[in-house]
Amino acid sequence: MPDRDDEEEGQMDGPVLRAQGLAKEFRGFRAVDGVDLDVAEGSVHALVGPNGAGKTTLFNLLTGFLKPTAGRIMLGDRDLTGRRPEQVARLGVARSFQITSLFPQMTPREHLELALAGATGLTWRFWRTERLLDRYADRAAELLSEVGLSAHAGTPAGTLAYGHKRALELALALALDPRVLLLDEPTAGMGVEDIDRTVELVRKVRAGRTVVMVEHNMSVVSSLADRVTVLQSGRVLVEGPYAEIRHDPRVISAYLGDPHAED
Ligand SMILES: Nc1ncnc2c1ncn2[C@@H]1O[C@H](COP(=O)(O)OP(=O)(O)OP(=O)(O)O)[C@@H](O)[C@H]1O
């Protein structure tokens, strides 16, 4: 018997983020082709798959950066389908941006104050008003401490080490206080030490949150993910806990590029 209360709240043990029949076509080519995805509240859910599987496209759909050709995206009982990225973010699905979106001259503290001001609806023309930004100083300091950047709060972002830039991106997403945090390859381009640090960081920030991440590094996936969705050719190939999917012959074939993998 379905538990109506839980369903109506759109949370508890039900999915907090749900995609149904999601598709994206680029000039007739289906990069995402009828994906169903249920992300449970409080879980870390990894999206994996070989190159070109549609992970980035799916991420862009979930965050409003692309509009779906078909299908529906729900956050709890709210329909996110077709909403713009800033609306999606404000409703509670925030994405950790790429380093290219950082301003090299601005410090982590300034980035965060600006993000916090933006999250509360203040527009750009207000951001230099010192008193308004002071309001966000405490929260910015907290977020910097959460991601281990306190010692670099006043360093221009352009001169930060790679791992620290990625930590700043994460803090910027957390500034939105999201219900669902999307991480796009959080360990991409990192050496072993930074990867370990990032795994610890994600462990820490996941508390009380739901995380969806695209991640190529399977050891990172095994350390962090409660559930894994494996995509191939725009479709869900397999879904389940990492311990189960890692032995699945379809997954192994997909990664080895077996042309009969879908059989
Ligand atoms: N804007 C676009 N126009 C046309 N084709 C696109 C576009 N974006 C993605 N594609 C195609 O859609 C498919 C899926 O791409 P996508 O980047 O989502 O895969 P991915 O799983 O993220 O791959 P990777 O692991 O290499 O990042 C690819 O074949 C890609 O060439």
- Which structural domain, as residue segments, surrounds residue 41? 1-79+217-263
Residue 20 lies in a domain: yes
Distance 39 CA to ligand 1 centre (A): 22
Complex ipTM over 0.90: yes
Distance 233 CA to ligand 1 centre (A): 10
Distance 53 CA to ligand 1 centre (A): 7
- Laid out side by side, the sheet with 227-232 consists of 93-95, 180-184, 210-214, 44-48, 227-232, 235-240
pLDDT tens string 167-191? 999 999 898 889 999 999 989 888 8
Amino acid in the structure at residue 260? H
Residue 143 lies in a domain: no
Q: Which of 97, 102, 132, 136 is nearest to 116 (CA)?
A: 136
Query: Residue 245 maps to which CATH number?
Result: 3.40.50.300
pLDDT tens string 88-143? 988 999 988 666 678 999 999 999 988 888 766 555 555 556 666 677 888 999 99
Residue 170 lies in a domain: no
Residue 49 lies in a domain: yes
Residue 153 lies in a domain: no
Q: Which residue, chain included where needed, has tokens 């994600």?
A: 202
Residue 56 lies in a domain: yes
**How many domains would you assign to the chain?**
1
Q: How confident is the model at residue 252 (pLDDT cuts 50, 70, 90)?
A: confident
Residue 134 lies in a domain: no
Average pLDDT, the chain: 86
The DSSP H or E segment spanning 108 is: helix 108-119
What contacts 89, CB < 8 A, 6 or more positions away? 63, 64, 95, 176, 178
Ligand 1 shell residues, CB under 6 Å: 26, 29, 31, 49, 51-57
Beta strand 78-79 with 70-75: parallel, antiparallel or unpaired? Answer: antiparallel
Residue 260 lies in a domain: yes
What is the structure's pLDDT at 239? Answer: 95
